[in-house]
């Protein structure tokens, strides 16, 4: 049976990479111009951050050029995506994913994408390693939630844009709550439920092996 932690790492890493690349596309569309400072909006004028639910995709860049920033963001996001999809299972693969995700931050990948990539990388470092020291009741409770965080994430990614298009003002007023639930809590919950399922499977397997006659 495929590792739930591996699936969670894949989903979060690919999402982080795509989200970072999306920032890059918007930055490229702003052209060969210099940003006003380190803090930028990936989506340029006429977008106004205080009037749209996505706040025009706020980001940070140390590169004084929107076009170059966008190219670097797309390249970095693509590498994060590929690494999460194909190489995170390698030795130190999770650590490399963490470093790549951190790299998205100063080149315009936004703030959410690096966070989600870091969560993916940390989860990747725990693939095949059980959660130790956790109460069995908590592990069972987290395990029962799998794979709902994955399903909710898959629905939220496109669904947020649909809801934002039709209910922008409502999304805007709920901005802090949506940020907390879907950008912070949901990625962490997806990672924890995946790790909890794998831990339970491992403990169950050990219990069965221990109960077999020698």
pLDDT at 212: 43
Alpha-carbon distance of 152 to 86, in angstroms, equals 23
pLDDT at 213: 41
Residue showing tokens 């106004």: 48
How many other C-beta atoms can be found within 10 angstroms of the C-beta atom of residue 62? 11
Sign of CA dihedral 165, 186, 58, 44: negative
Model's pTM, two decimal places? 0.93
Residues 6 or more apart whose CB falls under 8 angstroms from that of 167 comprise none
pLDDT at 214: 37
pLDDT at 207: 62
pLDDT at 105: 97
Per-residue pLDDT of the chain (214 residues; tens, 9 = 90+): 589 999 999 999 999 999 999 999 999 999 999 999 999 999 999 999 999 999 999 999 999 999 999 999 999 999 999 999 998 888 899 999 999 999 999 999 999 999 999 999 999 999 988 888 899 899 999 999 999 999 999 999 999 999 999 999 999 999 999 999 999 999 999 999 999 999 988 877 766 665 544 3
Question: What are the two backbone dihedrals, phi and then psi, of residue 109, each rounded to the nearest 5 degrees?
Answer: -80, 10
- Please state the domain extents for the chain: 4-211
pLDDT at 108: 96
pLDDT at 18: 97
How many Cα atoms sit within 13 Å of 103 on the Cβ side?
Answer: 18
Residues 6 or more apart whose CB falls under 8 angstroms from that of 125 comprise 94, 95, 98
Q: Which two tokens stand for residue 210?
A: 């221990």
């Amino acid at each position: 049976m495929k590792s739930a932690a591996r699936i969670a790492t894949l989903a979060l890493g690919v999402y982080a990479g795509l989200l970072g690349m999306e920032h890059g596309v918007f930055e490229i569309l702003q052209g060969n111009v210099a940003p006003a400072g380190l803090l930028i909006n990936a989506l340029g004028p006429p977008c106004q951050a205080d009037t749209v639910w996505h706040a025009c995709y706020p980001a940070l860049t140390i590169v004084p050029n929107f076009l170059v920033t966008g190219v670097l963001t797309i390249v970095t996001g693509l590498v994060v995506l590929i690494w999460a999809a194909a190489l995170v299972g390698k030795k130190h693969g999770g650590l490399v994913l963490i470093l790549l995700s951190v790299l998205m931050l100063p080149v315009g990948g936004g703030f959410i994408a690096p966070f989600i990539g870091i969560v993916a990388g940390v989860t990747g470092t725990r693939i095949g390693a059980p959660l130790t020291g956790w109460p069995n009741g908590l592990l069972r409770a987290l395990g029962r939630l799998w794979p709902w965080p994955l399903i909710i994430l898959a629905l939220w990614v496109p669904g947020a844009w649909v809801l934002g298009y039709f209910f922008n003002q409502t999304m805007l007023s709920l901005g802090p709550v949506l940020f907390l639930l879907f950008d912070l809590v949901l990625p962490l919950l997806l990672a924890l439920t995946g790790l909890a399922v794998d831990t339970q499977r491992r403990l169950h397997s050990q219990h069965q092996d221990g109960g077999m006659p020698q």
